[in-house]
Structure 1
Amino acid sequence: MKDHNRKIFLKGIHEYSEYLKLSTFKDSIESEIKSANETDISYEEFIYKLLQKEFDYKQEELRKSRIRRANFPYKKYLEELDVAELPEDAQKKLGILDTLDFIEKGQNVILSGNSGTGKTHIAIGLGIKACLSGYKVFFATVPLFITQLKELRSAKSLRAFQNKLERYDLVILDEFGYISSDKEGAELLFTNLSIRTGRKSTIITTNLSFDRWGEVFTDPVMAAAMTDRLTYKSYMVDMNGESYRLKATKKWMKEA
């Protein structure tokens, strides 16, 4: 009779766990019961351990989901960087940015410099760390972002996207200035970056110095306004230097 009741209870536990979407709870209940019987732990500890397992699993799934939804083109971690090979200014400021305090304060980060010096790697690395720390992140290249904004405007769904964009803790826009934009694109970029100014953080990577931002915005007044808004209380990181990728390639060839 005891074994029969045990089977009924276990069946019910599995069914309830599945209905409540407690997958780790369901998968580990029998092994945890066996372990509890062997170690004679209290009911409180038994329940605590089961709930802790489920909590840890769901937190890990949330972290993975945030990284997936951020739409990074690939995964890059700050720990993978050879900091000594970065431009001097990046070496000085990376430790500050690594704390993610700039996100809490709604500050921007502008990574500006020539190609190959680690701008995108740092931006993605900070973005992934933000996802792992519980922040909502959005990543796009500027050309694709502008195209997306144009399509949303044509479909009359731009406002809904703007509401969503305002809620991201961190927006990363890569490759600013690599391709110039038309007047419509420049205005859309300006408007949608402006709605976050002073409240939420944005990371920009660019190969252009500020005096050349007019090449992207086409309108010098708009370029000046955007420069002023993005750089206010922001971290400006000078990424000019020898190509990080080229140095890594040389090192790899020497060791091969």
Structure 2
Amino acid sequence: MELTNLLGKLKMDHLEAQLDVVCEQAAKRELDYKSFLSEALQTEWQGRHLRGIEARLRLARFPWVKTLDQFDYDFQPSLDRKQVRELAGLSFVERAHNVVILGPPGVGKTHLSVGLGVKAVEAGYSVLFLTLESLMTRLVRAQHENRLERSLQQLTYPKLLMIDELGYLPLSRTEASLFFRLVVRRYERSSLIVTSNKSFLDWGEIFNDHVLATAILDRLLHYSTTLNIKGESYRLKEKRKAGLLGQPRAEAENEEVITDA
């Protein structure tokens, strides 16, 4: 049977596409049969691995793809780099633990969340990114259409579910109840990353129910890591550079002290 035909039947598309290059390199390096076979299979595996990453990235529905290496730690010195490195090892995903990222708007919460999500995708985990608004729209619609159970089951499937922008808008009692049901479904089964601009003390207002907020936090924080970013917005930083805004209050106060001295 012709080699190209055989590779097609075995569905080795990546090796078939790179076969001439692999053979040429093997000849130049004078590889023995076992080494050549290893190189050929490695080529196929790498192609499949990259194709798998691309497919999982599409399914994750990230708003954009940014890595942890692209994060500007110097601009956010309050962030514990060691803690982020530990999270990047993804043991929290393997153990079905959660991550909560807190901070004011624009400090990089979503960037960190997506960066961890990309790491999980590259490691072979199923990942899904949703804003709180899109999550609530999805669950409320499913409830109205009598398919809530199916929707909750689908949201339980991803090994890592990321919920962005918790706290920007208050939830109704119905929405808060649906969020609680989702957290309960995933509790100790799979991981959540949640970003919020509100401290935990304010979550009772977000959910319009302090008792329900406590129940959510109890499960969310039982096995979790919290990252608290206390810094200025990246977006405001760019406007300051352009001279569209004044200096941050702390810097302005420091300059006043120096001037008075």
TM range (shorter): 0.7 to 0.9
TM-score (norm 2): 0.84
- Is residue 196 of structure 2 the alignment partner of residue 206 of structure 1? yes
Aligned partners of 2:86, 2:29: CA distance in 1, in Å?
A: 47
Deviations 1:26-78 (A, max 9, x none): 22334444555566533322222211100110011111111111110111111
Aligned twin of 1:59: 49
The CA RMSD measured in Å over matched residues stands at 2.2
* Structure 1: gaps spanning 5 or more residues: 1-8
Match of 1:133 among 123, 133, 137: 123
Aligned partners of 1:29, 1:106: CA distance in 2, in Å?
A: 41
Aligned partners of 1:58, 1:247: CA distance in 2, in Å?
A: 41
Identical counterparts, % of pairs: 33
> Is the alpha carbon distance of 1:181 and 1:50 closer, same or farther for their aligned partners in structure 2, counting shifts above 3 Å?
same
Residue 250 of structure 1, CA deviation: 4.1
Residue 216 of structure 1, CA deviation: 2.4
> Is the alpha carbon distance of 1:130 and 1:31 closer, same or farther for their aligned partners in structure 2, counting shifts above 3 Å?
closer
Between 1:160-169 and 1:118-127, the stretch displaced more is 160-169
Aligned twin of 1:93: 83
Match of 1:72 among 58, 62, 71: 62
Deviations 1:157-188 (A, max 9, x none): 33333333323221110000111222221111
Aligned twin of 1:116: 106
Aligned partners of 2:112, 2:45: CA distance in 1, in Å?
A: 30
Aligned twin of 1:241: 231
| Aligned partner of residue 205 in structure 1, secondary structure | strand
Aligned twin of 2:159: 169
Match of 1:218 among 203, 208, 211: 208
Paired residues of 1:87 and 1:117 also in contact (CA < 8 A): no
Aligned partners of 1:165, 1:23: CA distance in 2, in Å?
A: 33
> Is the alpha carbon distance of 1:87 and 1:243 closer, same or farther for their aligned partners in structure 2, counting shifts above 3 Å?
farther
Aligned partners of 1:131, 1:94: CA distance in 2, in Å?
A: 17
* Structure 2: gaps spanning 5 or more residues: 244-261
> Number of matched residues?
243
Aligned partners of 1:87, 1:189: CA distance in 2, in Å?
A: 33
Aligned twin of 2:17: 27
Residue 195 of structure 1, CA deviation: 1.2
Paired residues of 2:98 and 2:192 also in contact (CA < 8 A): yes
TM-score (norm 1): 0.85
> Is the alpha carbon distance of 1:198 and 1:248 closer, same or farther for their aligned partners in structure 2, counting shifts above 3 Å?
farther
Residue 150 of structure 1, CA deviation: 1.6
Residue 151 of structure 1, CA deviation: 1.9
Between 1:178-187 and 1:51-60, the stretch displaced more is 178-187
Aligned twin of 1:41: 31
Aligned partners of 1:61, 1:134: CA distance in 2, in Å?
A: 11
